[in-house]
Amino acid sequence: MAASWVLSECGIRPLPRIYPQPSTGFASKNTNFFKLRPLPVSKSQNLGSFKVSNWYKKRNWALNVAAPVNVKTVGGEEDKEREEITGVNEEEGEFFDPGAPPPFKLADIKAAIPKHCWVKDPWRSVSYVVRDVALVFGLAAVAAYFNNWVVWPLYWFCQGTMFWALFVLGHDCGHGSFSNNPKLNSVVGHLLHSTILVPYHGWRISHRTHHQKHGHVENDESWHPLSRKIFNSLDNATKTLRFTLPFPMLAYPFYLWSRSPGKKGSHFHPDSDLFVPNERKEILTSTACWTAMAALLVCLNFAMGPVQMLKLYGIPYWIFVMWLDFVTYLHHHGHEDKLPWYRGKEWSYLRGGLSTLDRDYGWINNIHHDIGTHVIHHLFPQIPHYHLIEAVNINFFLNYYLIFQFIFFWF
């Protein structure tokens, strides 16, 4: 109930299901996005006549993805529940098989993306870093200058959001979408992530696992569902901290040190089972950079005083953590409509990527570099963030989903 209230009160919902003409460069605050999510199928719907030229502008449609259902039903409420989950429509003689693979391949999606969307411009990428770093220092200077309790709360929200923006740029470095130069990616990634106390290589490698195994119940790295056995093995304190708001929104630093329940290892330790032996040097480098930043913060604490450091850095850092946990949850979990998780042969990279969600954050889309355009990012993390919106264009989705949606999932 608490999670439902937070999501509804914040007004954050899955993105509209249809794209306007794709735009380039910075995303405007009025940009609409496409989203993929499971939806119930109505029992009665008169299709009537339609025109392809304007049909998609008037109807709501989405790729219906659902988890396999292994429980047999015998009728009554169970049949109704099964229909809502899997899209069974016996009256119309239609059956959505949630275990069937998508009617297209990853190569089909890749072929439909404009070629220039794959091009990485290091100068453009660096310009975003310069912009964001300038804003971070500018906000700190303004808040320190006025130093009153009217300004501080506004500063905390703005600066915490900018820390989140820095994280997203470092995240692009980790994916190699920042530039084609691995050294430039590593240097910029370490500078950006270390300043917000994130071990660059440690997180980059675990996040790579998340992309490679997303949607797999056992092998995904972040925000994966727990088995009943693992859940029952948790002590009451862990259950409270993991599942009771606001604690899950503050979980990221603890995840870096000890990962999620049921998994072992640390993002700071080179011998963690997150990493292979030839990554040891990289992990040591990132941990050293993190330690240097922590030492700098301690020195500044003595120089400026703990209260001033708390106001300038401590509270914005926790706002950033809340942004990261909140956005990560929203992109990988449904709210009113749940997303599927797979096991064994049911899982595939394509299915995992398609079971993420795009989200619209309004005017913040531009600030945090369109990270809400998440489905295409999960499928192809090599695409620079400034090409994501254009990569998800209406022609692509019409080409591959229109007939499929009309036949099976019209409602």
Task: Identify the band that residue 255 occupies on the pLDDT scale cut at 50, 70 and 90.
Answer: confident
Distances (CA, A) of 225 to 234, 288, 291, 351: 14, 33, 32, 16
Residue appearing with tokens 């797999």: 216
* CA dist., res. 252 & res. 321, Å (int): 6
Task: Give residue 99's pLDDT band: very low, low, confident or very high (50, 70, 90).
Answer: low
Structure tokens that stand for 36 in this block = 């993929």
What is the mean predicted confidence (pLDDT) over 196-215? 93
Q: Who's near 297: CB < 8 A, 6+ residues apart?
A: 309, 313
Q: Which of 336, 378, 388 is nearest to 357 (CA)?
A: 378
Structure confidence at residue 11 (pLDDT) = 37
- More confident of the two residues 199 and 32: 199
Residue-wise pLDDT for 275-295, tens only, equals 999 999 999 999 999 999 999
Distance between CA atoms of 34 and 110, rounded to whole angstroms?
A: 17
Which has the higher per-residue pLDDT, 147 or 233? 147
Residue type, 144: A
Give the model's confidence band at 243: pLDDT under 50 very low, under 70 low, under 90 confident, else very high.
Answer: confident
* Three-class secondary structure assignment of 309-339: HHHHHHHHHHHHHHHHHHHHHHHHCCCCCCC
Residues 6+ apart with CB under 8 A from 186: 173, 200, 201
CA atoms within 13 Å, Cβ hemisphere of 346:
18
Residue 39: what pLDDT? Answer: 33
With DSSP H G I counted as helix, E B as strand and the rest as coil, what are the percentages for the chain, rounded to 5? 55, 0, 40
**pLDDT tops 60 at residue 250:** yes
Three-class DSSP category at 94: strand
pLDDT 10s digits, 312-339: 999 999 999 999 999 998 898 876 667 8
pTM (two decimals): 0.73
Mean pLDDT for all residues in the chain: 76
| 191 or 32, which is more confident | 191
Q: What is the 3-state secondary structure (H, E, C) of 349-409?
A: HHHHHHCCCCECCCCHHHHCCCCCCHHHHHHCCCCCHHHHHHHCCHHHHHHHHHHHHHHHC
Confidence of residue 215 (pLDDT cuts 50, 70, 90): confident
pLDDT(395) > 80: no
Grade residue 265 by pLDDT with cuts at 50, 70 and 90. confident
Beta bridge partners of 89: 94
163 pLDDT more than 50: yes
Q: Which of 97-106, 145-154, 235-244 has the lowest mean pLDDT?
A: 97-106
Residue 155 in contact with residue 308, Cβ under 8 Å? no
- The pLDDT value recorded for residue 194 is 97
pLDDT at 165: 97
Residue 10 has pLDDT above 80, yes or no: no
- Report which secondary-structure segment, H or E, holds 80: helix 77-86
> Comparing 61-65, 372-376, 399-403, which segment has the lowest mean pLDDT?
61-65
CA 263 from centroid of its chain's CA atoms: 21
Q: In terms of pLDDT, which residue wins out, 94 or 11? A: 94
Taking 90 as the threshold, does the pLDDT of residue 160 lie above it?
yes
% of residues, the chain, pLDDT over 70: 70
Burial 21-55 (b: 16+ CB within 10 A, else e): ebeeeebeeebebbbbbbbebeeeeeeeeeeeeee
Q: Which residues contact 32 (CB under 8 A, 6 or more apart)?
A: 15, 16, 18, 19, 20, 360
Residue 246 has what pLDDT? 81
Residue 276: Cβ-neighbour burial (10 angstroms; 0-12, 13-18, 19+): exposed
Determine the 3-state secondary structure of 128 from DSSP: helix
Question: 359-368 pLDDT, tens per residue?
Answer: 989 999 999 9
List CB contacts of 307: < 8 A, sequence separation 6 or more.
none
Cβ neighbours for 169, distance < 8 A, ≥ 6 positions apart? 125, 128, 129, 132, 178, 188, 192, 369
CB-facing half-sphere around the CA of 134: CA atoms within 13 A: 6
Q: What is the pLDDT of residue 30?
A: 32
Residue 67 has pLDDT above 50, yes or no: no
Give the amino acid at 157: F
Helix ranges (DSSP H) in 116-227: 122-146, 151-175, 182-195, 200-212
pLDDT, greater one: 384 or 409 = 384
- Who wins on pLDDT, 33 or 223? 223
Over residues 257-281, the mean pLDDT reads: 86
